[in-house]
């Protein structure tokens, strides 16, 4: 029997951690209606629960990125997973809104440690000609984990109470985090002796292609983060279904759209790359532009089935850019700065994205209704198509526009 390559073991464990990263994050949204009733919260307060997590997450990421080149990354990954899982467990023990705000912010600290160093750590276990596919698999943890979070959160919250939902989903992350502590550092990292100073972030801010990728992702993250927080509540209010069913249906749509969208986006970029260097960016702007009409149709649909059908296609296209844009960051940033690049990427996409969208949509919902809030979030995706076009133009000029230009 052939021995499983160590790189595949790393891929399996990192993917599993990514899965529970998003399960622990999204389970909160599935039980929003239960927490709202139990703690007597407004939609603005509920939205700020999600925003507080993202604010801490994005602010902590740059510091982890700096130390990612100085500390054994499996240690950061393992400790981070254990920390966010324990914080999730404590979310079920709270007795006030302030305490829940604190525990969800603590989850952001743990997940920032993992999300900052794991992409570069995983990519370095594979040759360059396979990294795009590997990063697409890594990105699958977002829709799959989000969907499972909705499914488990809705079911467990309905059957056992929202507190027990937090207790149950916290356990696997602790075990996976303990296993990650025993991973070894990559050969590429072990051979590297140079360290980039904290001022390396200034160099990244001069990389126009990288910044435009981040800006495009932030627009997608704003809308996806808003949908993640409020679509289950929208189903409950608009169509009168139970919390469990709302979580199940949105989770089912999200995982189906995310898995197929990620796969098709990665495949399309690889196929198109034989015809144009800007394949990642072409897939990017098409994914944004094509998602908008389906998203608008979803929130204006008069039936639950019609809304679900249109939401599937909207999310399918939104998720299509994930793999190509992860690969684009690896390509356009030197190997010595990739942990910092993903750290800055996390900071920017969440600072401009889902750190503010649940809160802002909650405010719009309180003022004009939840349907209006979600409608505006879908229209915002049009801007992501524009910035993706600009990113492709910058990539062509800065990496292939002149002899000796920076390449891979």
Q: Locate 215 and state its tokens.
A: 């800006």
* Range from 239-243, 285-289, 319-323 that averages highest in pLDDT: 285-289
Region of poorest pLDDT, from 157-161, 200-204, 364-368: 200-204
C-alpha–C-alpha distance, residues 28 and 46, integer Å: 10
| 317: Cα separation from own chain's centroid | 15
C-alpha–C-alpha distance, residues 158 and 242, integer Å: 9
Assess if residue 405 is contained within a domain.
Answer: no
Residue of 57 and 297 predicted with greater confidence: 297
Mean pLDDT of 391-395: 93
DSSP assignment letter at 128: G
Over 70: is that where the pLDDT of 129 sits?
Answer: no
* Range from 74-78, 197-201, 337-341 that averages highest in pLDDT: 74-78
Over 50: is that where the pLDDT of 406 sits?
Answer: no
Report the pLDDT value the prediction gives residue 142, as an integer from 0 to 100.
Answer: 79
Stated as kind and residue range, the H or E segment containing 306 is helix 304-319
Report the pLDDT value the prediction gives residue 346, as an integer from 0 to 100.
Answer: 83
Report the pLDDT value the prediction gives residue 1, as an integer from 0 to 100.
Answer: 44
State how many domains the chain has. 1
Q: What mean pLDDT, rounded, does the chain reach?
A: 85
Assess if residue 392 is contained within a domain.
Answer: yes
Give yes or no for a contact between 195 and 70, defined as CB atoms under 8 angstroms apart: yes
Report the pLDDT value the prediction gives residue 288, as an integer from 0 to 100.
Answer: 96
Residue of 20 and 338 predicted with greater confidence: 20
Assess if residue 152 is contained within a domain.
Answer: yes
Which CATH number does the domain housing residue 359 bear?
1.20.1250.20
C-alpha–C-alpha distance, residues 341 and 189, integer Å: 16
* b/e code 312-323 from CB counts within 10 Å (16+ = b): bbbbbbbbbbbb
Residue of 296 and 144 predicted with greater confidence: 296
Dihedral of the CA atoms 399, 262, 61, 351 (nearest 10)?
Answer: 90
Assess if residue 212 is contained within a domain.
Answer: yes
Over 90: is that where the pLDDT of 121 sits?
Answer: no
Assess if residue 190 is contained within a domain.
Answer: no
Region of poorest pLDDT, from 189-193, 340-344, 380-384: 189-193
Over 80: is that where the pLDDT of 198 sits?
Answer: no
Residue of 190 and 59 predicted with greater confidence: 59
pLDDT tens digits for 72-118?
Answer: 889 999 999 999 999 999 999 988 899 999 998 899 899 888 988 88
DSSP assignment letter at 130: G
| Alpha helices, H only, 240-273 | 243-272
C-alpha–C-alpha distance, residues 247 and 267, integer Å: 30
| Alpha helices, H only, 320-351 | 322-332, 338-351
Report the pLDDT value the prediction gives residue 9, as an integer from 0 to 100.
Answer: 92
pTM assigned to the model = 0.74
pLDDT tens digits for 48-65?
Answer: 887 788 788 888 888 887
Q: How confident is the model at residue 404 (pLDDT cuts 50, 70, 90)?
A: very low
Q: Locate 318 and state its tokens.
A: 């939104």
Mean pLDDT of 172-188: 91
pLDDT tens digits for 8-31?
Answer: 999 999 999 999 998 988 888 888
C-alpha–C-alpha distance, residues 42 and 351, integer Å: 23
pLDDT tens digits for 145-173?
Answer: 877 887 788 888 888 888 998 999 899 99
Which residue, chain included where needed, has tokens 């939609």? 43
Assess if residue 388 is contained within a domain.
Answer: yes
Mean pLDDT of 271-288: 89
Over 90: is that where the pLDDT of 262 sits?
Answer: no
Over 90: is that where the pLDDT of 269 sits?
Answer: no
Assess if residue 135 is contained within a domain.
Answer: yes
Cβ-based neighbours of 152, under 8 Å, separated by 6 or more: 23, 27, 30, 165, 168, 169
Report the pLDDT value the prediction gives residue 391, as an integer from 0 to 100.
Answer: 95
Assess if residue 314 is contained within a domain.
Answer: yes
Report the pLDDT value the prediction gives residue 226, as an integer from 0 to 100.
Answer: 86
- Domain of residue 46, residue span: 6-180+197-400
């Amino acid at each position: 029997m052939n021995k499983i390559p160590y790189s595949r073991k790393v891929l399996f464990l990192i993917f599993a951690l990514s899965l529970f990263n998003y399960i622990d994050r999204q389970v909160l949204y599935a039980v929003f209606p239960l927490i709202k009733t139990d703690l007597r919260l407004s939609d603005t307060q509920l939205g700020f629960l999600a925003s507080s997590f993202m604010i801490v997450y994005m602010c902590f990421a740059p510091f982890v990125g700096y130390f990612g080149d100085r500390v054994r990354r499996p240690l950061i990954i393992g400790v981070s997973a254990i920390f966010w899982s324990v914080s999730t467990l404590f979310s079920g023990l709270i007795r006030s809104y302030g305490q829940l705000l604190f525990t969800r912010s603590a989850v952001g600290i743990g997940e920032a440690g993992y999300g900052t160093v794991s992409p570069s750590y995983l990519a370095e276990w594979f040759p360059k000609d396979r990294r795009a596919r590997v990063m697409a698999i890594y990105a699958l943890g977002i829709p799959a984990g989000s969907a499972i979070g909705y499914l488990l959160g809705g079911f467990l919250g309905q059957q056992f109470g929202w507190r027990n939902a937090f207790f149950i989903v916290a356990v696997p992350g602790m075990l996976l985090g303990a296993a990650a502590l025993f991973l070894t550092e990559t050969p590429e990292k072990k051979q590297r002796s140079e360290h980039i100073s904290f001022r390396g972030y200034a160099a990244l801010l001069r990389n126009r292609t990288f910044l435009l990728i981040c800006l495009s992702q932030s627009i997608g993250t704003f809308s996806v983060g808003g949908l993640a927080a409020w679509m289950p509540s929208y189903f409950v209010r608009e169509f009168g279904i139970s919390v469990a069913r709302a979580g199940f249906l949105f989770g089912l749509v999200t995982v189906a759209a995310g898995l197929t969208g990620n796969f098709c986006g990665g495949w399309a970029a690889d196929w198109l790359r034989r015809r144009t260097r800007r394949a990642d960016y072409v897939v990017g702007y098409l994914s944004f532009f094509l998602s908008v009409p389906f998203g608008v149709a979803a929130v204006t649909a008069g039936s639950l089935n019609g809304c679900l059908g249109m939401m599937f296609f909207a999310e399918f296209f939104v998720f299509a850019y994930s793999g190509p844009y992860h690969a684009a960051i690896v390509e356009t940033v030197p190997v010595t700065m990739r942990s910092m690049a993903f750290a800055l990427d996390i900071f920017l996409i969440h600072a401009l994205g889902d750190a503010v969208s649940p809160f802002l949509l909650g405010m719009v919902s309180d003022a004009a209704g939840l349907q209006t809030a979600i409608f505006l979030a879908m229209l915002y995706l049009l801007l992501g198509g524009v910035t993706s076009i600009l990113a492709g133009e910058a990539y062509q000029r800065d990496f292939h526009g002149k002899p000796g230009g920076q390449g891979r």
